[in-house]
Amino acid sequence: MSNKAANNSMEKLPKLKISGLGWDDKKLHDLDEARFFAFTEDLIVTLEGQVVSSFEEIEDLAKSRNYREKEYLEIVFLPVIVGGE
């Protein structure tokens, strides 16, 4: 698929409302920006309350019947905090 075709398909998908770890700007972001998220063991990323671990998972969920008609989807970054004795 060409970049232009890929971008056109992304335009029809919901935008992302991102919060956590300094992303609380209230701006809606293109789904394609999720390609650059750092999916690491020190970070939990959720999409509409579901834990996701890759851009592909975010894209698949955004294309699913449950989410594709929404204006935006909520992404939340949660740091993993390990404590103990």
Average pLDDT, consecutive stretches of 10 residues, N- to C-terminus, the chain (85 residues): 49 88 86 92 94 96 94 94 78
Q: How far apart are CA 44 and CA 76, in angstroms?
A: 8
**Residue 19 contacts residue 75 (beta carbons within 8 Å):** yes
Q: What is the pLDDT of residue 1?
A: 47
83/72 Cα distance (integer angstroms): 34
Residue with tokens 């449950």, as numbered in its chain: 66
- pLDDT at residue 58, rounded to an integer: 97
- Give how far Cα 46 sits from Cα of 59, 60, 73, 75, 82, Å: 13, 14, 10, 5, 19
Q: Tell me how far apart the alpha carbons of residues 36 and 39 are, in angstroms, rounded to a whole number.
A: 9
